[in-house]
Amino acid sequence: MDDMGYHEALALLDWQIELGADEAILDAPVDRFALEEAAPVASAPPPAAPAVPPAASRPAPPPARAAEGAAKANAVDVVAIAREAAAAAHDLPALKAAMEVFPHCPLSQTATRLVFADGDPAARVMIVGDAPGREEDQQGKPFVGKAGQLLDRMLAAIGLDRAAADPESSVYITNMLPWRPPQNRDPSPEELAMLGPFVRRHIELADPDILVLMGNHACHGLTGQKGITRLRGQWTEVMDRPAIPMFHPAYLLRKPHDKAKAWEDLLSLKARLRKI
């Protein structure tokens, strides 16, 4: 490190950010080389395995296994708790407050802040994405990074704008997960199940005419179906309203040749808005 120049060090940091290591989780850095050196080295050979004692004198199950059994018996049903908390929220500020204090999702510990929504809750179109990324986590708003900027351009192409004052041309945007998963990993099935009741209540309270399921996780989380490549552009129903799955803008940034299909879907959305 001593000989490393400024530009080389900066390039290394950029590389780490590209890989997703873009935030400090702890207050102080951990020198893992020092930890390795300090680790105790086994000197004596491991003791020989004891002969199996007769059943009568065999000890009770080890405490770890007993504790596991007890934990299973006492396991809290976090999905049911989330459902109750979401149902008790009678407006959007109350829903946001309930999510802020929901203690069962470990993502709330690693994320910087809750990312609830952006745009106009009265908009006819509600977009549900996957999960916040780094910029969203920092700003507390969904879709504000590169993918979000592409989303804004896509919406502008059909006359929609999250900042519009008029609900006819505005949109309302949220995500399946309100907290950023570490290193932008995919949402786990447990997280989607646990936070699903909050998204559904969010949809109920905002009550949009049309839902846009932006990406695989939103599509799977709200329709139960996987495979955005096959499902995109096919209108379906979610919570008694029309919903259209679409390619996620982050995917379109990686595969720009699929933008033509996204354009088809945007035109389909525009036509549907005229009809209802």
**Residues 238 and 176: beta-carbon distance below 8 Å:** no
- Work out whether 247 is an interface residue with ligand URA (CB under 6 A): no
Task: State yes or no: residue 152 binds ligand URA (CB under 6 A).
Answer: no
Using CB under 6 A as the binding rule, whether residue 219 contacts ligand URA is answered as no
Residue 142 lies near ligand URA (rule: CB under 6 A)? yes
| CA dihedral (93, 158, 260, 244) positive or negative | positive
> With contact defined as beta carbons under 8 Å apart, do 181 and 129 qualify?
no
Give, as ranges, the residues between 163 and 202 that touch ligand URA (CB under 6 A).
175
Q: Report the residue number, 130 or 265, with the smaller CB distance to ligand URA.
A: 130
Q: Tokens 């395995």 label which residue?
A: 49
The single-letter DSSP state of residue 163 is T
Place of tokens 């680790």: 39
- Closest residue by Cα to residue 214 from 262, 158, 268, 159: 262
**Count, residues near ligand URA per rule CB under 6 A:** 14
The token pair that represents 52 in the structure block: 């199996």
Segment interacting with ligand URA (CB under 6 A) among 58-66, 141-149, 224-232, 261-269: 141-149
Least Cβ distance, residue 110 to ligand URA (angstroms): 16
* Identified binder of ligand URA from the candidate list 133, 197, 208, 242, rule CB under 6 A: 133
Residues in touch with ligand URA (CB under 6 A): 129-133, 136, 142-143, 145, 147-148, 175, 215, 250
